[in-house]
Amino acid sequence: MHLRRLEWVLALLAVALPPGCGARSGLPGEELVRCAVAADCPATACETAECVAGVCELTPLRCDDGDPCTDDRCEPDVGCIYRPRTDDADGDGHRAPLAGFAPGEPGACGDDCDDRNALAHPGRTETCDGLDNDCNGVIDDGARYGPSGEAPVRISASALRAYRGDLAASKEGFVLTYAGLEADDTNLFRPVFVGLDVTGRTRFTTRVTETNVSTFPGPLAWDGQAFASAWSDARMAGGYEIYFALFSADGKKLGPDVRLTEAAGFSLNPAIVWNRSEYVVIWDDRRDEGALGGEAPRLYAQRLGADGRLLGGNVLLSEEAGLEYPTLAQGTRRLGLAHTVHGEPSRLGFRVLDARLAEAARAEELLGANVTALSLHALDDRFVLLWEEGNEAGPGNALYAAVFDEDARLVVPATTIASGASFLRSHAARSFGDRFIVVWADDTHTDYELFVQTFGPDLVARGERARLTNEQGDSVNPAIALGPEGTLGVLFEDFRTGTRHVYFLTLACTD
């Protein structure tokens, strides 16, 4: 700036001012510029000029539009520039919220609940398409789901037998993970990342990892542009470690496996969530067993950027030992975390974490007894925790639920939401913002078959249960996801051929 001002002064001396009309220094060490009117002064667009007693006085322009949602700066050739801090990537006239804010929240600087989809923005009419079109937090307001009438599709066609991982969706269709024992000479379970269209036709199949050990098929998360999966395998001699990888919506693996743990003792059962700005992976970890004595898993976490870059190191979530099987749900303000707690009987714990993964609050009482399966779901500003109980003799006969608020206070106490069979085993759920849909397996019809039913945030059923499978042989272990065109996909394991295989079926949405 100093040099530039000096050039101006020299130019003025040569051109604008009569010879002998000496310019002098105004600021310490600088020349004064003489003027008749303010327009004579060499102000840039980032300065205001005044001509005071025949001498230029330049004052830097202060750019401030008073709007906290713009970055204010000055360009010498242009003047003040107020650039919005958030983008409207889908061009629907509504901006995305700042990272870490819920859409429309004070300070969010944007109210588009999905800035990658122009079919969703405040003011748009809701249709039965699996999207929250009007951004009121409710997907397909009032719609119901029932069997689509399409036959289930076998996914693990080439495998001798197979286990499902997770199911997720993008605008292009569904994606899933499963691990099959392939009919080759490796004798390994190798997970694959598979894309399906809404009818269950395969769009692509990608190996999750090239490692030569049997690998668990992991959970999936979708950040709006890519899918992430985390899993556990024992490629490193000495124990299971947690790995992470990203995949494009069309099935390309984006970069090599990212190793999250390097720890003594097994690291298992990763859960993954996209919290609107980062991925969070939480797992149970036995690295501290030497110091703690006995089997004492603790919960650890890792934050990752959208590009899969590690953000900081592994975070120990709690000093307590005996915590296992984490399940996560991103709420409006906080991350919900439920897990089992060792004991006789084993119980369930619930807590909420802030964006830095520090514990913000935890439930006062532990729930459940002899918990065998659990899952957590965000429902507006609440969390719904679902679980099953059992013992050595086998699974229990009911599915239980409880509701917490974002301060981890129990809002609806433990409630039985599905019962009546001799055995109930495995469940999945999906929140629609004002209600949630549950798919589970029970033996009401001798074999295990899948059922679907919708519940409100008060855990009261909205409508009757509907049966989804009718084949001989057990149908169990559902995972569900909401796909394009309002189609709800169900990935499950089925024994209709006499062997465990992975199948996919769809539920249709009706307004």
* Interface positions with Ca ion (CB under 5 A): 88, 90, 92, 94, 112, 114-115, 120-121, 126, 129, 131-134, 136, 138, 140-141
- Can you spell out the DSSP letters for 453-477? EEE-TTS-B-S--EE---SSS-EEE
Vertex 150 angle, CA 144 and 156, to 5°: 115
Query: How near is the Cβ of 328 to Ca ion at its closest, in Å?
Result: 24
Bridge partners (DSSP) listed for residue 173: 170
Distance CA 217, CA 283 (A): 15
| Long-range pairs for 231-235: beta carbons < 8 A, 24 or more residues apart | 231/165, 231/177, 231/191, 231/270, 232/266, 232/267, 232/268, 232/269, 232/270, 232/283, 233/209, 235/211
The answer to whether 510 touches 141, Cβ cutoff 8 Å, is: no
Running DSSP on this structure, what letter comes out for residue 12?
A: H
Q: Which is nearer to Ca ion, 117 or 214 (CB)?
A: 117
Query: How near is the Cβ of 84 to Ca ion at its closest, in Å?
Result: 12
Q: Which is nearer to Ca ion, 239 or 484 (CB)?
A: 484
Q: Are strands 335-341 and 279-285 parallel, antiparallel or unpaired?
A: unpaired
Q: Which is nearer to Ca ion, 286 or 430 (CB)?
A: 430
Query: How near is the Cβ of 277 to Ca ion at its closest, in Å?
Result: 17
Query: How near is the Cβ of 91 to Ca ion at its closest, in Å?
Result: 7
Considering only CA atoms, give the Rg of the chain.
Answer: 30
Bridge partners (DSSP) listed for residue 383: 378, 404
Query: How near is the Cβ of 82 to Ca ion at its closest, in Å?
Result: 19
Query: How near is the Cβ of 511 to Ca ion at its closest, in Å?
Result: 9
Query: How near is the Cβ of 174 to Ca ion at its closest, in Å?
Result: 17
Q: Which residue is nearest to Ca ion (CB)?
A: 112
Q: Which is nearer to Ca ion, 41 or 131 (CB)?
A: 131
Query: How near is the Cβ of 118 to Ca ion at its closest, in Å?
Result: 5
Q: Which is nearer to Ca ion, 203 or 462 (CB)?
A: 462
What tokens were used for 239? 């124990």
Distance CA 108, CA 95 (A): 10
Q: Which is nearer to Ca ion, 31 or 115 (CB)?
A: 115
What tokens were used for 507? 């539920």
Query: How near is the Cβ of 198 to Ca ion at its closest, in Å?
Result: 15
Q: Which is nearer to Ca ion, 325 or 432 (CB)?
A: 432
Which of 448, 447, 430 is CA-nearest to residue 439?
430
Give the H/E segment covering residue 489. Answer: strand 488-494
Q: Which is nearer to Ca ion, 101 or 243 (CB)?
A: 101
Q: Which is nearer to Ca ion, 374 or 480 (CB)?
A: 480
Beta strands in 171-295 (DSSP E): 173-182, 189-196, 202-207, 220-222, 226-233, 241-248, 253-259, 267-274, 279-285
Distance CA 94, CA 344 (A): 53
Distance CA 438, CA 453 (A): 6
Query: How near is the Cβ of 278 to Ca ion at its closest, in Å?
Result: 21
